[in-house]
Amino acid sequence: MGESPSNESPPVIDGEFARWLAGRAGQLLMEVRAEVGHEDPAALKAAGDKRAHDFLLSELARWRPSDAVLSEEDDGARGVLAGGGTRLDAKRVWIIDPLDGTREFSEAGRVDWAVHVALWSADCAHRHRLAAGAVALPGQHRVLATDHPPAYPPMPVGSATGGRIRLAASRSRPPAFLTALAEEVGAELVPMGSAGAKIAAVIGGEVDAYVHAGGQYEWDSAAPVAVATATGLHASRVDGSALEYNGANPRLPDLVVCRKDLAPRLLSALRGHLRVP
């Protein structure tokens, strides 16, 4: 089961197709978790990565054969196009992370892991050129996508948060400056796995911002950034510059995603922590 292509025809429109792909890959990951169990986390991570990657690659090859693919699980995945050239010459590139938050996926009971599917298009007017994106959160039974962007998050009720900013951060590799930054802006840190799950938490209003620095790749943020910006949220590099995708080097080491009203305050505080080159 699982790895053979499905018989169902997916939606034709890219945003709906992205939602379909991410949702189906997420279902497969739930099946893998049930089948393999949590006794051997390394085996579970490897099985999940492979099942979701194989599914996404085979469906993209089947339904979008002319498009290029950039995937976490295979940096060369359809990077060289059938007609010659590389993904850097392509007009359309799917940027996918079959399993973001791999570590959390392997831990029983955790729901902070995701499937990311984004479409970079040379014709997209937005600076990030992400024409479509979907983030499946199978453990939370939801898929967020640009075809029907979620509503902008509500302002937090001061009494519920004590007036403090809630700042989502990596559980294992938070930026070195984050504790100092949090103190400066009066924030509490909310450790969470997966870039997709953290950006989904900003979109849902469970946290106010996500700040990361020190290392990451385009596939870690492309799909959730596509959804966040479609929702109207702020997303940029930590120095305030634009996030750009489908670069020759897929490293994209830092970002901040937050409500628009918070961006000036966070970016101003971040400036004090960025090393001058």
3-state secondary structure of 209: strand
Q: Residue 64 is inside which H or E element, if any?
A: none
Q: Answer with the entry of Mg ion, ligand A3P, none that 216 interacts with (C-beta below 5 to 8 A by kind).
A: ligand A3P
By CB under 6 A, name the one of 71, 106, 121, 216 that touches ligand A3P: 216
- Burial classification of residue 251, based on how many CB atoms lie within 10 Å of its CB (0-12 exposed, 13-18 middle, 19 or more buried): exposed
Tokens of 21: 């792909």
Which span sits near ligand A3P by CB under 6 A: 12-20, 213-221, 241-249, 260-268?
213-221
DSSP 10: P
- Report the site for ligand A3P in 45-74 (rule: CB under 6 A): 72
> Nearest to residue 229, comparing CAs of 136, 142, 125, 155?
125
Task: Give the span between the Cα atoms of 43 and 32, in whole angstroms.
Answer: 11
Minimum distance from residue 16 beta carbon to Mg ion (Å) = 23
Residue with smaller CB distance to Mg ion, 208 or 220: 220
- Report the site for Mg ion in 81-120 (rule: CB under 5 A): 97, 100
Can you count the helices (H) and strands (E) in the chain? 8, 10
Minimum distance from residue 144 beta carbon to ligand A3P (Å) = 16
- Burial classification of residue 151, based on how many CB atoms lie within 10 Å of its CB (0-12 exposed, 13-18 middle, 19 or more buried): exposed
Q: Answer with the entry of Mg ion, ligand A3P, none that 194 interacts with (C-beta below 5 to 8 A by kind).
A: ligand A3P
Measure CA of the first residue to CA of the last residue in the chain; give whole Å: 51
> Nearest to residue 185, comparing CAs of 271, 254, 277, 276?
271
Interface mask toward ligand A3P for 72-101; x: CB under 6 A: x------------------------x--xx
Which span sits near ligand A3P by CB under 6 A: 56-64, 79-87, 131-139, 215-223?
215-223
SS (H, E, C) 223-260: HHHHHHHHHCCEEECCCCCCCCCCCCCCECCCEEEECH
Cβ-closest position to Mg ion: 100
Q: Answer with the entry of ligand A3P, Mg ion, none that 215 interacts with (C-beta below 5 to 8 A by kind).
A: ligand A3P
Q: Answer with the entry of ligand A3P, Mg ion, none that 221 interacts with (C-beta below 5 to 8 A by kind).
A: none
Minimum distance from residue 170 beta carbon to ligand A3P (Å) = 3
Asked whether position 215 contacts ligand A3P by CB under 6 A, the answer is: yes
3-state secondary structure of 98: strand
Beta bridge partners of 209: 167, 258
**Strand locations in 67-212, DSSP E?**
68-71, 92-100, 114-121, 130-137, 142-145, 165-170, 187-192, 209-212
Q: Residue count at the site for ligand A3P (CB under 6 A)?
A: 16
Asked whether position 222 contacts ligand A3P by CB under 6 A, the answer is: no
Which residues does the annotation place in the binding site for Mg(2+)?
72, 97, 99-100, 220
Query: What is the contact surface with ligand A3P in residues (CB under 6 A)?
Result: 72, 97, 100-102, 170-173, 193-195, 214-216, 220
Query: What is the contact surface with Mg ion in residues (CB under 5 A)?
Result: 97, 100, 220
Which residues does the annotation place in the binding site?
72, 97, 99-100, 220
